[in-house]
Structure 1
Amino acid sequence: MSGFKMFFSELKRRKVINTVLPYVGVVWLLLQVVSVVVPLLSLSPLVGTFSAVLLFALFPVVLYLSWFYDLTSNGIVLTPADDSGTVTPLGWKNWTALCGILLLSCSIGFSYFQQVRSNSLKAQEGISTVKVADSIAVVGFKDQSPEQDQQYLAEGLTEEITSLLGKMPNLTVAASGSGLVLSKQGLDPIAIGRRLEVKTVLTGSVRRTGDQLKIRLELLETEKGHTLWTETLQRSLSDVFALETQIARAVVNLLQDNYLDQSAISNHANTQSVDAYVMYLKGREQYRLQTTEAIKEARKLFEQAIALDPEYAQAHVALADTFVLLSEGKSEFGVLKADVAAQLASQSLAKAFLREPNMAEAFAVQGKVFEFEQQDDQALAAYDKAISLNPNLAIAYMWRYQILYRLGRYDESLASLEHSYRLDPVSVATLYNSALELSLRGLYPEAEQRFLQLIADFPKSPWGYAGLGGVAAFQGKLAKSIKYWQQAHLLSPQNQHFKSNYISVILRLGMVDQASRLATESDYQNTLLLQSGKYHELFQIMNFQLAASPDDGWIAFEAGWYQVLIGDKQKGIELLLKARTLIKESELYGMPFCSPAIELAWALQQRHEAAAASQYIQQCQQQLNNAQIGNQVDWELDYLGARLAVLTGDHQKALQQLELAISRGWREWWLSYDPLLLALHKNDKFKQLQSNLSLLMAKDKKQALLLFPDSPSQHTSTQQQ
């Protein structure tokens, strides 16, 4: 007998149909009763839906049980396992299968009921799903107020709605900053959506008349440019936060199958003060300019917002953010000391967390504070928390990239950078950092193109010029680098990072007169005296500093190094070894030069303390190996390799590394003075490399002088020509 016939024969023997039919009848009867009772008692239609779904979900369970049990006049009895009449109790496998069928049936039924419930609730509110979409951008709203003076409000609403939407799972939300920038460039919403690679775009206009807000909304799909939904809402300005949540909730309900009720999206960090809100939005307007001057102005406006409403949690977070950005550092705006910035930011964050403990932006800023305090694990945990609260918070991914990169977790860092770039491709931070990453990998044309895009998108921002200045310096094009740093400094003269890099590149070409006009701070005094050849004055100052701070290892190291370069070599070695006892072990291996450990190793070799020197050399070699894992193209690392090779006696490798460093852009005036390379000075290859470097730097210096038409050196050069 075939398997098919045997199965039907068994169904007949077990009387499965006889058992199932009564259940079907009961289901039909119950549904008839429900259909009458629900409208009679004015119950929700969902009661009938739930009853039907539950009864149908139980059908597979009844069907399974009917295989093992029969309905008889004596009740429910166990069906014999075969024709012999032997009754076998159900084993654990049977009960496990029953539980599995029950769970599967109930999960399918629950999913179906949720879908029906969602559609029903949407229908009650006049909402229908217009498109199942997983990505959206909120394009900058237009200001249509009579006085045309409410653009800060329009942009603020754009940011707030974007932030609310960003908290939704399974919805990719492009950063508001990118949409705002592209809007100001005159691109239409569809073009913006396509550039940001999202499926839908929310746009509209804002009109404020007195205390009344009128917002016109339009939801568009980017593939064909069709309008999916339009709406006009009018509220008083004091109800703006409820209006924002209403818009965000409506958009999610329109785009996705699930239904969000009124409690699903909310902003608990708001304020009851309209004046405080307006001041906050004006602060955000300044914040978006991303210059030192604008961030300082934003700080003042956020402080005024808090003065108007001390309970305004969002303003406390924004203020903390400005403290972070105003700290000293390569990617910050360089006005406050890092420890001061961290303390001020922590105070503001504490007030914010007290009022609203679950703000994604607050955790992101807290992560940055932890970084300042060198608490890397806590910083990463804070960034992860921020991302869990708002999976679309681009800046959290950006800051997470920076710390992961610094920790040597390159694959994770690049993934975080790419995520940030996808969410916010038209922002100063993402464009700058992604371009910087390209330059570190030696992809200079691609990096330059992205920095040029930054300038095109943000013509008033200094960061594009700063990036180009860095790329040019990486390649050894110092005159070109000076030109770009000069432009960055002009755009943001208060930014100490730009100024220090500008002066640094000038000094690399030995242009002391030009550097002196800019370097008015005492920090540059010793370097200027060194390059000016005023050694006696330099050593007088260093001796005073040593006497004033005898326990400062870094002063001892600097004084010792100057002595080694152009003074008393033996005295310099003594000072270096003194510095060794004063500087913390954790601070000895500063990359990319592994300094001061590499210089201390040389000093120890001069004293014939080979074992102690070897420890430093091995650690520096390990640091170099770790740095090279990141696929960086860095002449600083090549130069470190050359110095290490000399210390280990491999002169051939040292020359190869030095040649590689120069070919990649290493340009420093002090090559001939470096005592670590003294063993190479008589080598013909070294002499040739030294000569080539001098010619390259002389050519660059001639071009760079043209950028300073009013300098004495330029007049002298012109007269000689």
Structure 2
Amino acid sequence: MPLLAELKRRRVFRALIGYGIAAFAVLQIVEPVTHGLHWPEPVLSYVVVALAAGFPIVVALAWIFDVSGGRIERTAPASGSRIGGVRLALAFIAIGALAAAPGVLWYFVVRGGSRSTPATAQTPSIAVLPFVNLTGDKENEYFSDGITEEIINALANVEGLRVVARTSAFSFKGKDVNVRKIGEELNVATVLEGSVRRDGNQLRVSAQLIGALDGYHLWSRIYDRELKNIFAVEDELARAIVDALKPRLIVARPRLVAQSTANAKAHDLYLRGRFFWNQRNKEGLAKAAALFEQAIAADPTYALAHTGLADCYNLSIDYGGGRAADALPKAKVHALKALELDDSLAEAHLSLASIIERDYDWTTSEREFKRALELKPGYATAHHWYALHLDVLGRTADALAEAERALELDPASLIVNTVMAIFFYHQRDYERATEQALKALELDRTWGMARSWLVYSYERRGMLAEAFAALDQANNPSNALAGVRAELLALSGDREGARRLLAAVESRFAAEPIPRAILVRAHFALGERDVAFAWLEKGIEERDQSTRSLKTSSYWDPMRSEPRFQALLARMNLK
């Protein structure tokens, strides 16, 4: 009798189908258990292999036995059958392997390929999404945002844990995005979601940790506390997350969230201040500075509040129309005061580094940058600012490495993505600069800085038509983009149009200041060298960030041969 007929008679195929269904059910149960208990991924693979090995055994058992009348009986051989011995054993193995093959291929090839992630996502990593404000009052948004930021900062102190920076995490604020999609875009293995409800002196914080690969909840908790215990809640929450991600993590400090002030009012004012500081505009910086001053008045020993005020004075030069001569001394006083109060504060060392750097003291500022990163290796802003510092000094490879680390920690950051484009431009790799600027614009098409560098990159590649098209696509033409257009008009031969536009840009400069480097380039393109150098000297005097890259950037190549240019390099200690 043919083998196939005998297999049907002994109901082997029915047994294989039943076993296949049971094996699939086992996998559906085991998979969430392995994720929930944080077992290594290979454990699930071992289960799949064991279930696959069971198929030949099922074939053998179904061949020998049958179920009849609720009893297991040995199946009588068919009359005249000569199937047996080695031939039969090989048949069992072959049939079992064929039955198991589709499932094994699906798990290890199809499923494995679809679930594969970059190496960095396989390591412990987390994105802390903005906690939802459940108070019903939009004015309390600063509080839920502030708690989120402090938890991010706390987790950044855990050795072996990669924590996505605030900018990227907050890019999902108010958006209904699937956790798996967030994990894919930010390249993280876990996502923390939560909410904050504040009622008078009472506080409720809810949090849940979710696996980004499969969407399974790993851990959740609700904290009901008095407002004065906010730091204890944050520390308890951070430690619970670390416990959930063990055993591969090392806690670097006895407390992940230090009680930076015992004054609840000062802390509340500080959170309000950071909320407005993060807006990075003139009005926001003014509000933030006032709030930080109130926090310091409530608690003069509050180091973070002094750091916040130092940051306000420092950034007012770029965003608030502040004069360097007025702002920098005040910024330095508060940064030094913060360090006097707490020398272990990475934020204060970073503030001081940025302030000292504006005085072109590259050696001292580098020491402070390094100290900030020693204290807080996962500090994305420190990596970003240090990258800019290294680029100014012409240490290209080191600058790129720091920028890439910042981008790893803050993948959705508009500024860091644009900085990468700027670095490629500085190195005269205009094609990569173009690609990176376009990548930044994919994140936000209204981002003027990325559009400016896209235009400059096209211009250096001789693609003036594409450069003009990029400007025409701007949704919100700014004074800065108008200055960029003036240079393009001059280069394309429309000198009168360039002069008219440039005059309009300069007339608005007091109300809408722009990077002076834009004005320098536009005047130089018109052949107005003296005016160009006057703007450049003013930029250096006012510590304009856009005029720092004189030493190495191709941005300044048209002016590099001028003796005045070399004198300015010496003035900036870059000769």
Q: Which residue of 2 aligns with 1:197?
A: 187
Amino acid at match of 1:516: A
Match of 2:411 among 401, 425, 432: 425
Relative to 1, partners in 2 of residues 1:397 and 1:591: Cα closer, same or farther, differing over 3 Å?
A: closer
> Which residue, out of 133, 136, 158, partners 2:126?
136
Whether 2:386 is the aligned partner of 1:395: answer: no
Partner residue of 1:367 out of 349, 353, 357: 353
Structure 2 gap segments, 5+ residues each:
1-121, 511-515, 538-548
Contact 1:451-1:464 within 8 A present in 2 as well: yes
Q: 1:382 to 1:152 in 2, by over 3 A?
A: same
Query: Residue 352 of structure 1 aligns with which residue?
Result: 338
- Asked whether 1:277 is paired with 2:270, we answer no
Could you tell me how far 1:224 is from its partner in structure 2? 1.5
* In structure 2, C-alpha distance between the alignment counterparts of 1:334 and 1:199, rounded to whole Å: 39
Give how far 1:365 is off: 1.6
AA aligned to 2:349 is: F
Structure 1 position 598 matched with structure 2 position 561: yes
In structure 2, the CA distance between the partners of 1:138 and 1:260, relative to structure 1 (3 Å rule), is same
Asked if 1 retains the 8 angstrom alpha-carbon contact of 2:434 and 2:457, the reply is yes
- Match in the other structure for 2:198: 208
Is 1:187 matched up with 2:177? yes
Q: Secondary structure at the match of 2:144?
A: helix
Cα distance in 2 for residues equivalent to 1:530 and 1:414: 29
SS in 1 for 2:225: strand
Q: 1:529 to 1:451 in 2, by over 3 A?
A: closer
Deviations 1:649-703 (A, max 9, x none): xxxxxxxxxxxxxxxxxxxxxxxxxxxxxxxxxxxxxxxxxxxxxxxxxxxxxxx
Q: Equivalents in 1 of 2:550, 2:400: separation in Å?
A: 28
CA RMSD of aligned residues (A): 4.2
CA distance 1:488–1:259, shift in 2 (3 Å): same
In the alignment, is the contact (CA less than 8 A) between 2:303 and 2:338 conserved in 1? yes
Is the Cα contact below 8 Å between 1:489 and 1:498 reproduced in 2?
no
Work out which of the residue numbers 306, 310, 315 in structure 1 matches 2:300.
Answer: 310
Write the mapping of 1:627-706 to structure 2, written as runs, cut at 5 A. Answer: none
The whole-number CA distance in structure 1 between the counterparts of 2:262 and 2:488 is: 48
Secondary structure of 1:220's partner? strand
- CA deviation after TM superposition for structure 1 residue 424, in Å: 0.4
Larger Rg: 1
Match of 1:410 among 396, 409, 424: 396
Secondary structure of the structure 2 residue equivalent to 1:184: coil
Superposed counterparts of 1:55-454, under 5 Å: 134-257=124-247, 263-270=254-261, 272-274=263-265, 276-327=266-317, 332-333=318-319, 335-440=321-426, 447-448=433-434, 450-454=436-440
Q: CA deviation at 1:167?
A: 1.2
Distance 1:473 1:148, change over 3 A: same
Distance 2:550 2:213 in 1: 56
CA contact (8 A) 1:302 1:316 kept: yes
The 8 Å contact of residues 482 and 501 in structure 2, kept in 1 or not, is answered as no
Query: Structure 1 pair 261/430, CA: closer, same or farther in 2 (3 Å)?
Result: closer
Give the CA deviation at 1:370.
2.1
Return the offset for 1:288: 2.7
* Pair 1:177–1:595, CA change in 2 (3 A): closer
CA change 1:380–1:191 in 2 (3 A) is same
In 1: Cα distance, 2:296 partner to 2:182 partner:
35
CA offsets, 1:47-81, max 9 Å, x none?
Answer: xxxxxxxxxxxxxxxxxxxxxxxxxxxxxxxxxxx
Cα 1:235–1:319 change in 2 (3 A) is: same
**Contact 1:137-1:200 within 8 A present in 2 as well:** yes
Q: Aligned-pair distance for 1:525?
A: 12
Distance 1:487 1:325 in 2: 29
Call closer, same or farther: CA 1:305–1:456 in 2, change over 3 Å: farther
Using the size of structure 2 for normalisation, the TM-score is 0.63
Note if contact 2:196-2:203 (Cα within 8 Å) is conserved in structure 1.
yes
What aligned pairs does 1:537-576 form with structure 2 within 5 A after superposition?
none
CA contact (8 A) 1:289 1:461 kept: no
Supply the distance in 1 between the matched residues of 2:452 and 2:291 (Cα, whole angstroms): 27
Which residue in 1 is equivalent to 2:504? 517
Q: Residue 597 and residue 459 in structure 1: after superposition, are their counterparts in 2 closer, same or farther (change >3 A)?
A: closer
Distance 1:462 1:202 in 2: 31
Distance 1:333 1:259, change over 3 A: closer
Provide the C-alpha distance between the structure 1 equivalents of 2:285 and 2:416, rounded to a whole number of angstroms.
18
Deviations 1:221-253 (A, max 9, x none): 222221111100011222212211121122122
User: Aligned pair in 2 of structure 1 residues 500, 317: CA closer, same or farther (>3 Å)?
Assistant: farther
SS of 1:267's equivalent?
coil
**For the structure 1 residues 529 and 421, does the alpha-carbon distance in structure 2 shift closer, same or farther, using more than 3 Å as the test?**
closer
Report the CA distance between 1:176 and its aligned residue: 2.1
Counterpart contact for 1:462–1:487, Cα < 8 Å? no
Change (3 A) 1:211 1:446: farther
Moved more, 442-451 or 179-188: 442-451
Change (3 A) 1:502 1:292: farther
1:17-62: CA deviation from partner (whole Å, max 9, x where unpaired): xxxxxxxxxxxxxxxxxxxxxxxxxxxxxxxxxxxxxxxxxxxxxx
Tell me how far apart the structure 2 counterparts of residues 134 and 382 of structure 1 sit (CA, whole Å). 29
Instruction: Using CA pairs under 8 Å that are at least 6 residues apart, name the structure with larger relative contact order, 1 or 2.
Output: 2
Deviation at 1:447, TM superposition (A): 4.3
Distance 1:463 1:259 in 2: 39
- 1:602-625 CA distances to partner (integer Å, 9 max, x unpaired)? xxxxxxxxxxxxxx9xxx9xxxxx
CA–CA separation in structure 1 for the residues paired with 2:488 and 2:445: 23
The one-letter code sitting in structure 1 at the alignment partner of 2:194 is G
The one-letter amino acid paired with 1:384 is: K
Normalising by structure 1, we get a TM-score of 0.51
How many pairs does the alignment contain? 421
**Partner Cα distance (2:379, 2:404) in 1:** 13
CA distance in 2, matches of 1:414, 1:305: 38
SS in 1 for 2:360: coil
Judging changes above 3 Å, is the alpha-carbon distance between structure 1 residues 371 and 425 closer, same or farther for their aligned structure 2 residues? same
Q: Which residue is 1:104 aligned to?
A: none
What SS does structure 1 have at the residue aligned with 2:173? helix
Distance 1:347 1:598, change over 3 A: same
Secondary structure of 1:335 counterpart: coil
State the percentage of identical aligned residues: 26
Deviates further, 425-434 or 285-294: 285-294
Classify 1:590/1:413 alpha carbon distance in 2 versus 1 (closer, same or farther; 3 Å).
closer
- Worse-superposed segment, 483-492 or 365-374: 483-492
**Shift of residue 489 of structure 1?**
11
Task: Structure 1: give runs of 5+ residues left out of the alignment.
Answer: 1-131, 546-553, 559-586, 602-615, 621-625, 628-721
CA apart distance, 1:296:
4.1
CA–CA separation in structure 2 for the residues paired with 1:194 and 1:415: 23
Q: 2:5: which partner in 1? A: none
The question of whether the paired residues in 2 share the 8 Å contact of 1:469 and 1:485 is answered with yes
Superposed displacement of residue 314, structure 1: 1.1
